[in-house]
Amino acid sequence: MAHADEAAIFNKDEEKVDWHDKALWFVRQKRDKSAHNVKGWETLRNLASAIKANVMSNLDNYLIQFEENAQKNGITVHWAVDADEHNKIVHSILQQTNVKKVVKSKSMLTEECHLNPYLEAHGIEVVDTDLGERIVQLAKEPPSHIVLPAIHKTKEEVDVLFQKHLGTKPSHGDPQYLTNEARKHLRDKFLKADAAITGVNFAIANTGGIVVCTNEGNADMGAHLAKVHIACMGMEKLIPEEKHLGIFLRLLARSATGQPITTYSSHFNKPASGTEMHIIIVDNGRTEQLSREDFRASLHCIRCGACMNTCPIYRRSGGHSYKATIPGPIGSILSPGKDLTKHSDLPFASTLCGSCSDVCPVKINIHEQLYKWRQIITKNVPQPVVKKTILKMAGRVLANTKLYDFAGKSARFMLKYAPRWVVYSKLNTWGKARDLPEIKDGNFDQWYKKRQRHE
Amino acid sequence: MKVGLFIPCYINQLYPQVGIATLELLEKLGLNVDYPMGQTCCGQPLGNSGYENDSKGICSLFVENFKAYDYIVGPSGSCVYHVKKHFDILEQTEDVKRVRKNTYELCQFIHDVLGKTDLGASFPYKVGIHKSCHGLRGLRLGSCSERMDAHYSTEEDLLKNVKGLELKTLKRVDECCGFGGTFSVFEEAISVKMGNDRIRDHIDSDVEVITGADHSCLMHLEGLINRNKQPLRVMHIAEILNSSM
């Protein structure tokens, strides 16, 4: 089902749509307030964008530098060309270290690679330890937002879910109670885990270290308790130097939730004694995206989710309507690069309002890329016959003054004199919920000609 | 100064009164305005739908019609934005470059080029502005709520000088209305929901007349208002700036 159909279903429950919209708009407003408190916010965005552009154009060198430095620190570095290789590497590390239970903090990359089902199929227990991630994991759903994975669920729904899976008492969705119960449940999982998987927010080329940002400290608790730490990163996560964190950390949390900084910005530079640390650097289509000049900047993304919170369509259609690991505006420019046909509806799930590009902390020109994907999609993916025919015909009519004049007059005549049931037939999608403009006696051309005659 | 009046296709056919107000307003300001007959469209409906390549004939015709003017002025932010931004599909001849550079949205032309804000209009109503996205974030007619720039607004500057007009502040000052060209049909459910949410904000803010610099958004909002029989009127900003009530 295409985004429009999913969105129509989501919109059947208007109360829920309003709730979803307001919840995310609240986050957007928090972001606005917090960004206003930073002098030179727009300068920070410019700097971040320029640093990321530098990284993309020198990615090969930075990756090699990062690997060398990480290895010097005693970290084992792996390279995965795609999701399958990534999953196999994770599994082989777990096999070698005889691990059966894994805790995992938030990582959109492992979602992209579908790591959980892969490991579960090999008899390994994987527990997502971010509260939102755990909620969707228990509900057997994918995250609907990259920062707020369970934003589509109300606290009452979480209550029911926890009763079923964690044996909690009904609490009318008491957040304090439910969070405490989740905490107890996860504490137990942390203590029993043999390995911890984390994502990577920033990989620093000149130190070989990584930075993981969380609000719950779950990445730290996992990594510090387990004897094996596997950090999975997309190859675009690099920044050249540690000092650049001063720019990115200030932008990330403010853009994501309006906090000045994430509660934990944890630096992992080397394995603690007696433990192992692995980093898996994953391509999975990124090199290809890098080769597309018009879409290269999509790799600047630091996964803050601000474009989702600001997007009027995302807020009213929910993350699941995009049917992609990364939903919302940024996902709609990343996903077509992975599978053009499957995701061909996504660049059209936008009014091109441009709010995403203006909110983006690394200044990705998201709405311009959406426009560009549209041009590629109509050439490469079969389009609805009616849409294609009408637009191609419009191209000819509007390029010809006489045809245009004739078409304009006939259309106005039809709309003015045809009976209402003809004009508002099922074929008129516009007219389902909207009236058509009232047709005046003449058009502007006619008025102007008449005025000239009288002058 | 030779000014060519650009009346977008849908305004020509459906909202002649907006074209008339635009022309009268420019003439009131002492300009010699010419309306080149034979103009059609800017090609935006095709470009935004992914059929940019099929719109080259339309874009070329636009350039042909307007290449002789010092300024090309039209009452529609998104169409003007399309000319400025997306006519890169044509070979960049001197004519094309000049047309792209000299095409202006009406408010921007009055405010920035003529340097006028008080046009002597009066309109004794409570008014809410719909800041259309392509005008706001494309042409930068004002500061947008996402960026941390100092506040400015071309439309507000002009409306604040209209006698009797009371400008109302909305809860969401610059959210998209959900029109989006063919989006309004192919993503109908969301488009309608977005439009209704915008209208609700105006009603809750005690607005009597919604105005803006892009009539395509207003057409969408008006369609919903009329269907739902809501107590609001929709007028293009040219109609307000040209009125002497």
For the domain that residue B196 is a member of, what is the CATH number?
3.40.50
Residue B88 shares a structural domain with residue B131: no
Q: What residues form DSSP beta bridges with B163?
A: B122
How large a percentage of chain B has pLDDT more than 90? 99
Within 8 A of B43 by CB-CB distance, chain A residues are 398
Residue B86 shares a structural domain with residue B19: yes
Residue B227 shares a structural domain with residue B177: yes
Which tokens is B76 given?
A: 């529609």
Would the pLDDT of B245 be above 80?
no
Residue B54 shares a structural domain with residue B145: no
Residue type, position B149, single letter = D
Report pLDDT for A223: 96
B119 in a domain, yes or no?
no
In the block, which residue shows the tokens 């800017």?
A: B42
pLDDT digits (tens, 9 = 90+) for A51-72: 999 999 999 999 999 999 999 9
Distance from CA of A51 to the nearest CA of B (A): 20
Q: What is the ipTM of this complex?
A: 0.97
Which tokens is B205 given?
A: 């803010």
Are the beta carbons of A348 and B183 separated by less than 8 Å?
Answer: yes
pLDDT band at A84 (very low <50, low <70, confident <90, very high): very high
Calculate mean pLDDT across residues B138-156. Answer: 97
B107 in a domain, yes or no?
yes
For chain B positions 114-133, those within 8 Å of chain A (CB to CB) are 133
- Residue A143 CA to residue A137 CA, distance in Å, equals 8
- Report all structural domains of chain A as residue ranges with CATH numbers, in order of start: 38-284 (3.40.50.10420), 390-454 (no CATH)
Count of domains forming chain B: 2
Is A142 strand, coil or helix?
coil
| Domain C-terminal end among B113, B141, B172 | B113
Are the beta carbons of B189 and A11 separated by less than 8 Å?
Answer: yes
Closest CA to B165 of B212, B195, B123, B223: B123
- φ, ψ (nearest 5 deg) of residue B33: -110, 135
Are the beta carbons of B223 and A434 separated by less than 8 Å?
Answer: yes
Within 8 A of A352 by CB-CB distance, chain B residues are 48, 133-134, 180
Q: What is the DSSP letter of B112?
A: I
Mean pLDDT score across all residues of chain B: 97
Q: What residues form DSSP beta bridges with A214?
A: A264
Calculate mean pLDDT across residues A276-303. Answer: 98
Residue B61 shares a structural domain with residue B132: no
Within 8 A of A440 by CB-CB distance, chain B residues are 14-17
pLDDT digits (tens, 9 = 90+) for B92-123: 999 999 999 999 999 999 999 999 999 999 99
B226 in a domain, yes or no?
yes
Would the pLDDT of A240 be above 90?
yes
| Domain C-terminal end among B46, B79, B113 | B113
CB A195 within 8 A of CB A203: no
The answer to whether residue B17 neighbours chain A at the CB level (below 8 Å) is: yes
Least confident of A233-242, A360-369, A399-408, B202-211: A399-408
The answer to whether residue A407 neighbours chain B at the CB level (below 8 Å) is: no
Closest CA to B106 of B243, B238, B242: B238
Q: How far is CA A340 from the centre of its chain?
A: 17
Residue B131 shares a structural domain with residue B225: yes
- Residue A136 CA to residue A133 CA, distance in Å, equals 5
How large a percentage of chain A has pLDDT more than 70? 100
- Residue A96 CA to residue B120 CA, distance in Å, equals 82
- Residue A419 CA to residue A431 CA, distance in Å, equals 14
Report pLDDT for A451: 94
Would the pLDDT of B83 be above 80?
yes
DSSP A161-226: HHHHHH-PPP-SS-HHHHHHHHHHHHHHHHHH-SEEEE--SEEETTT--EEEEESS-HHHHHHHHS
More confident residue, A414 or B35: B35
Least confident of A144-158, A329-343, A363-377, A410-424: A410-424
Would the pLDDT of A158 be above 90?
yes
pLDDT digits (tens, 9 = 90+) for B39-73: 999 999 999 999 999 999 999 999 999 999 999 99
For chain A positions 327-366, those within 8 Å of chain B (CB to CB) are 348-355, 357-359
Calculate mean pLDDT across residues B156-160. Answer: 98
Are the beta carbons of B144 and A355 separated by less than 8 Å?
Answer: yes
Which tokens is A270 given?
A: 């080397």
- Residue A321 CA to residue A332 CA, distance in Å, equals 11
B121 in a domain, yes or no?
no
**Cβ contacts of A177 within 8 Å, gap of 6 or more:** A168, A171
CB B71 within 8 A of CB B109: yes
Burial A303-330 (b: 16+ CB within 10 A, else e): bbbbbbbbbbbbbbbbbbbbbbbbbbbb
The answer to whether residue B220 neighbours chain A at the CB level (below 8 Å) is: yes
Establish how many alpha carbons lie within 13 A of residue B88's alpha carbon, considering only the half-sphere containing its beta carbon. Answer: 5
The answer to whether residue B89 neighbours chain A at the CB level (below 8 Å) is: no
- Residue A263 CA to residue A1 CA, distance in Å, equals 39
CB B238 within 8 A of CB B215: no
Calculate mean pLDDT across residues A422-428. Answer: 84
Q: How far is CA A305 from the centre of its chain?
A: 6
Residue B156 shares a structural domain with residue B65: no
Residue B54 shares a structural domain with residue B22: yes
Alpha-carbon torsion, ordered B199, B200, B205, B209, to 10 deg: 30
Residue B94 shares a structural domain with residue B152: no
Mean pLDDT score across all residues of chain A: 96
The answer to whether residue B245 neighbours chain A at the CB level (below 8 Å) is: no
Calculate mean pLDDT across residues B154-162. Answer: 98
Residue B158 shares a structural domain with residue B205: yes
pLDDT digits (tens, 9 = 90+) for A28-49: 999 999 999 999 999 999 999 9
The answer to whether residue B143 neighbours chain A at the CB level (below 8 Å) is: no
For chain A positions 231-260, those within 8 Å of chain B (CB to CB) are none
Would the pLDDT of A419 be above 90?
no
Nearest residue on chain B to A391, alpha-carbon basis: B46
Residue B102 shares a structural domain with residue B132: no
**Cβ contacts of A32 within 8 Å, gap of 6 or more:** A258, B145, B146
Are the beta carbons of A444 and B182 separated by less than 8 Å?
Answer: no
Residues A77, A79, A83: CA angle, nearest 5 degrees: 130
For chain B positions 186-205, those within 8 Å of chain A (CB to CB) are 186-195, 197
Report pLDDT for A422: 81
Report pLDDT for A410: 86
Are the beta carbons of B219 and A437 separated by less than 8 Å?
Answer: yes
Other Cβ atoms less than 10 A from the Cβ of B108: the count is 19
In the block, which residue shows the tokens 């992609």?
A: A324
B156 in a domain, yes or no?
yes
CB A170 within 8 A of CB A156: no
- Its sign, for the CA torsion A4, A10, A12, A14, is negative
Look up the domain containing B98 and give its range. 3-113
B30 in a domain, yes or no?
yes
More confident residue, A419 or A242: A242
B150 in a domain, yes or no?
yes
For chain A positions 36-95, those within 8 Å of chain B (CB to CB) are 36, 38, 41-42
Other Cβ atoms less than 10 A from the Cβ of A186: the count is 22
Report pLDDT for A343: 98
Residue B106 shares a structural domain with residue B132: no
pLDDT band at B32 (very low <50, low <70, confident <90, very high): very high
Is A71 strand, coil or helix?
helix
Within 8 A of A36 by CB-CB distance, chain B residues are 148
Q: Which of B193, B194, B220 to mutate to test the interface with A (most CBs of A within 10 A)?
A: B193
- Cα end-to-end distance, chain A, whole Å: 58
